């Protein structure tokens, strides 16, 4: 399916909403309006961007908003995608990445995402990039758009399950291998696998270790590649990175609301102090339920709590 993304003015948004019949179904997060006109699906997002999906989308857009779309938009075509210098962006790819693996608080989230070469230009127009370079606010905005049109699978390993696996002597590498593999298999069920050129995994371990740790069969090994700093080499990985980070950020926001304090990301000294405060207030069992117990932050936080009470 051909996609066209436009930056819309407030007047153009009002015009579209006043002209088109709104879809009465439940809208995904981040989307404020959706309609179908002459075979083209039109979606408008909180960001002010509009996506036109379907054949002749440029003509429909010009008809509805009364201006040329060629200078202010990017239409997905194979010719445009072939101009990219990143080789994976010339092909139909599944990319996979994770978030939360280096954070004491919060879950481990993994996403695999299919990006066709026709959608490369769309992702560039939306501003898809390495999630580590994007603010959390932008992560949420982008992810809520990406999930509306990219086939994907998102798995969240919460802290109790993470800690259970650790108690069974699973390494974090094994957890990630299992989650990546399951996400990829899930996405393969959502697409025509014959059109797939590559599976690109943001590398966290060598291929033999990944294949040994992944439970069950590793699909399409001959099409699977492992790339360090994969977000800069494949927009499929970048999109997966954004969606997995989105899930992690939303989980952390929920924890902050639940405990009426900002739950910090990372694993540095500030985390030790924050964890110590939570332990003193709620107890170690509660904190263990929202953290990765194998991190050194746990012992450091307990030491801070003990030192505080010993001074009294």
Q: Is 202 annotated in some ligand binding site?
A: yes
Q: Which fold has domain 88-254?
A: Nucleotidyltransferase; domain 5 (3.30.420)
Assigned CATH for 3-65: 3.30.310.10
Q: What is the pTM of this model?
A: 0.76
Q: What pLDDT sits at residue 236?
A: 97
| Distance, CA of 200 to CA of 182 (rounded, Å) | 14
Q: What pLDDT sits at residue 70?
A: 63
Q: What pLDDT sits at residue 75?
A: 44
Q: Cβ atoms within 10 A of the Cβ of 144, count?
A: 18
Q: What pLDDT sits at residue 276?
A: 96
Q: What pLDDT sits at residue 85?
A: 42
Angle at CA of residue 25, ends 24 and 29, nearest 5°: 120
Residue 147 backbone phi and psi in degrees, to 5: -70, -15
* DSSP type of residue 39: T
Q: Is 136 annotated in some ligand binding site?
A: no
Give the start-to-end residue ranges of the domains of the chain: 3-65, 88-254, 267-310
Q: What is the mean pLDDT of each run of 10 residues along the chain (312 residues)?
A: 82 83 85 90 90 87 76 41 58 97 97 96 88 86 95 98 96 96 98 95 91 92 91 95 97 97 94 96 97 96 86 58
Q: Is 130 annotated in some ligand binding site?
A: no
* H-helix or E-strand spanning residue 161: helix 159-167
């Amino acid at each position: 399916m051909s996609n066209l993304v436009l930056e819309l003015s407030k007047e153009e948004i009002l015009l579209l909403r006043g002209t088109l019949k709104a879809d009465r179904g439940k809208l995904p997060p981040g989307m404020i309006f959706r309609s179908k006109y002459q075979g083209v699906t039109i979606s408008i997002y909180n960001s002010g961007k509009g996506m036109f999906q379907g054949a002749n989308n440029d003509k429909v857009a010009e008809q509805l908003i009364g201006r040329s779309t060629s200078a202010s938009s990017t239409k997905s075509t194979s010719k445009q995608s072939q101009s990219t210098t990143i080789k994976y962006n010339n092909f139909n790819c599944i990319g996979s990445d994770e978030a939360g693996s280096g954070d004491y608080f919060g879950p481990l989230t993994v996403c695999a995402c299919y990006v066709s070469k026709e959608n490369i230009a769309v992702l560039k127009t939306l501003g898809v990039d390495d999630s580590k370079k994007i603010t959390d606010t932008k992560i949420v905005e982008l992810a809520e758009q990406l999930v509306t049109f990219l086939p994907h699978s998102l798995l969240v390993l919460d802290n109790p399950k993470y800690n259970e696996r650790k108690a069974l002597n699973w390494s974090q590498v094994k957890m990630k291998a299992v989650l990546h593999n399951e996400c990829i298999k899930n996405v393969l069920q959502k697409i025509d696998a014959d059109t797939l050129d590559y599976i690109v995994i943001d590398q966290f371990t060598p291929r033999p270790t990944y294949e040994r740790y992944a439970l069950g069969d590793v699909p399409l090994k001959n099409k699977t590649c492992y790339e360090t700093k994969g977000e800069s080499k494949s927009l499929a990985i970048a999109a997966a990175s954004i969606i997995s980070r989105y899930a992690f950020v939303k989980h952390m926001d929920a924890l902050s609301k639940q405990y009426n304090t900002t739950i910090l990301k990372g694993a540095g000294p500030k985390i030790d102090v924050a964890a110590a405060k939570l332990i003193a207030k709620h107890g170690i069992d509660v904190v263990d339920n929202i953290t990765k117990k194998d991190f050194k932050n746990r012992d450091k936080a307990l030491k801070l709590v003990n030192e505080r009470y010993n001074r009294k």
